[in-house]
Structure 1
Amino acid sequence: MSIDHDHGVTGAEHTGHVPAVPDPGLPHHTWRPTDVDERLAKRAERQVASLFGLSAVCVILFLVAYFAFDIGDNHTTVGGFAASTLALGSTLGLALLFIGIGIIQWARKLMSDQELVEMRHPARSSDEDREATVEALQLGLEESGIARRPLVRNSLLGAVGLLGLPAIVMLRDLGPLPGDALYHTVWKKGMRVVRDVVGTPINVADLEIGDLVNAEPEIVFAVDEDGEHVLHGADLQIAKSKAAVILLRMDPSDITPGKGRENWSVDGIVCYSKICTHVGCPISLNERKTHHLLCPCHQSTFDLADSGKVVFGPAARALPQLPLMVDEEGFLVAQSDFTEPVGPSFWERDS
């Protein structure tokens, strides 16, 4: 292209044609040292296997540290950090790091070294391209050398396999197995129903038709008749949350009691678990005219006038009902524990 200072652009642009840029092509391929020297390839193979071996050693050190240090003990420190936290974090982190570095070194020095050009294609590849891709993946697996280099393959499998042990060991931190705890709550015969938070007992005369009250069991801080210590602290709060209930008073004529539940209400006062049977959200949205209780999470709706049956939403089970009676002082108490598990369904539940 040339420039005419009197008349502007001349030459190729003057005619409307721009010369094409020549294809520079690919530079000459430079082979890696490990491609041409088998001695260097063997050394690289030993390096990769050593990295995988170091990962396995770190996993073993993680397991040793897990049992050697008391989890949560902040008195034993290293450099101002809790020894257990530092040991567990560093060993597990190094185990993953060594595997990552080993795979990178494997790819850089031992896997097949080729330069490819991929042309653009439609969003859905043709059947021929798909078959070619499967063939390429199979070829890549062969060219990775995993079949020809058993030392790398076996050390990788060993390191990755050992990484499952920390996950298995740490399952212990999830707590003890539940046993039959999912089937029961702390409710028992004669236990008073008290208002949530304030803990005051509820007299039948305290409630008017339409009133809905969030309640919980009254747990006395003492030793029970069996000589067992009553729950306290975090265990107490967990027990109360699992046994949380709601009271609703309605016209007794509106109640349709289920079979065997004819005496579970007191003067139109019914009591149900506050935990939704779908995924365990707390329920307290009351439709006063219909006696329906709505879960705010996924809109499951239960009919408290008809044994807590599901009338809408994803919940598959009725709300568990707590049988009520009145003690000598006129306060509401439980006849017994719930007759079915509270909360969401679980594998072993059969009713």
Structure 2
Amino acid sequence: MSTTQEHLPAVPEGDEPIPNPGLPAHQWRPTDVDTRAEKRAERQVAALFGVATLALVGFFVSYFVFQVGDNWDTIAGFGASNVMLGGTLAIAFICIGVGLIHWARKLMTDHEIVELRHPASSSEKDRTETVGMVMQGIDDSGIARRPLVRNSLLGALGLVGLAPILMLRDLGPLPGDKLYHTIWKPGMRVVRDVVYTPIKVSDLEIGDLVNCEPEALANGGPDGEPLEGVELQIAKSKGAVILLRMEPDDITPWKGRENWSVQGIVAFSKICTHVGCPISLNERTTHHLLCPCHQSTFDLADNGKVIFGPAARPLPQLPIEVDDEGYLVAQSDFTEPVGPSFWERG
């Protein structure tokens, strides 16, 4: 085919920076002159995209089928999950890349053009012409008249986009409603952290602050079964509380919380509602609790309300009372989720 300058601005003769040396005669490709070769190339491209799609389906299946951790599935001594995830994703990317190259070399329009350099600034005319060139490129690619290639490519690329979304699951399990529940139960004693000794009202003086845990951690889980490893650490972090004793008249409870304290003793979650740091920096005279990470400050005399810093909501309060033996116990679990509050923001 002869040289074409379609969609290029006309250049008056004599204004060209160098004489046009011309281009050699256009060399036709087999797919340009042979319909069977064109259809064969189209099927080859679609087949490559199809293989990519199958590889991505294999990626998703492998993610859920092969076990990881203590009982790893293996292939030739290697972790089956790693081999299959890496192998299928590599096959998918290679097939998509080769398919695109084959498409461009065999099926897209193959016209030589001459393009002169233009000023760096773009005029309205240039922008209009650029849009025209883009539309011409889309037309030359044949994507509109080759639905087999187009649809197979879209199918493969659609699954490629899902692959990283699926892998986000490895960041950890979704919290669901787990943050709404801890191992605290009605009648469960409040015990000192580490030593797990129960606490009576008489054990605390005005201004005392004590780090505490639920008694179940000393005797096993809430069902009496011992907790170990990750489960134990999760239970401790979610159930950790602080006890603070102040003058009863200093407490201004919200409606419904009038009986949540015992003779000036209040219990609050130890986990900051900003990003989950453990807090226990107490200002004795003000009843303010400070987070050492980002200086969020909570007023324990006023229902754990945030008075400074980036925390978005008050510290959850644990309702407490005294059992028949005089020890401090929980009235119930927390009535709101503990921990960071970023996950519940709209």
Using the size of structure 2 for normalisation, the TM-score is 0.75
Q: Percent identity over the alignment?
A: 66
Among 153, 158, 181, the residue aligned to 1:156: 153
Structure 1 match to 2:12: none
Distance 1:246 1:52, change over 3 A: same
Q: CA RMSD in A?
A: 3.9
Aligned AA (2:180):
Y
Among 285, 294, 300, the residue aligned to 2:296: 300
Structure 1 match to 2:82: 85
Instruction: Give the SS at the match of 2:301.
Output: coil
After TM superposition, the structure 1 stretch with the greater mean CA deviation from structure 2, 293-302 or 330-339, is 293-302
Instruction: Give the SS at the match of 1:305.
Output: helix
Q: How does 1:114-193 map to 2 (within 5 A)?
A: 116=115, 119=118, 121=120, 127-163=124-160, 180-193=177-190
- Work out the CA distance in 1 between the residues paired with 2:329 and 2:30: 83
Structure 2 match to 1:201: 198
Instruction: Give the SS at the match of 2:153.
Output: helix
Deviation of residue 339 (structure 1)?
Answer: 1.9
Aligned AA (1:291):
H
Deviation of residue 149 (structure 1)?
Answer: 2.0
- Work out the CA distance in 2 between the residues paired with 1:269 and 1:232: 31
Distance 1:29 1:74, change over 3 A: farther
Instruction: Give the SS at the match of 1:320.
Output: coil
Aligned AA (1:181):
K
Structure 2: gaps spanning 5 or more residues: 1-16
- Work out the CA distance in 2 between the residues paired with 1:45 and 1:189: 70
1:101 equivalent in alignment to 2:98: yes
Instruction: Give the SS at the match of 2:307.
Output: strand
- Work out the CA distance in 2 between the residues paired with 1:200 and 1:108: 78
1:283 equivalent in alignment to 2:279: yes
Quick check: 1:247–1:270 contact (8 Å CA) kept in 2? yes
After TM superposition, the structure 1 stretch with the greater mean CA deviation from structure 2, 28-37 or 322-331, is 28-37
1:62 equivalent in alignment to 2:59: yes
Structure 1 match to 2:32: 37
Among 244, 249, 252, the residue aligned to 1:248: 244
Deviation of residue 35 (structure 1)?
Answer: 8.3
Distance 1:37 1:292, change over 3 A: same
Aligned AA (1:97):
I
- Work out the CA distance in 1 between the residues paired with 2:190 and 2:154: 58
Q: How many residues align?
A: 325
Distance 1:110 1:196, change over 3 A: farther
Using the size of structure 1 for normalisation, the TM-score is 0.74
1:53 equivalent in alignment to 2:39: no
Structure 1 match to 2:3: none
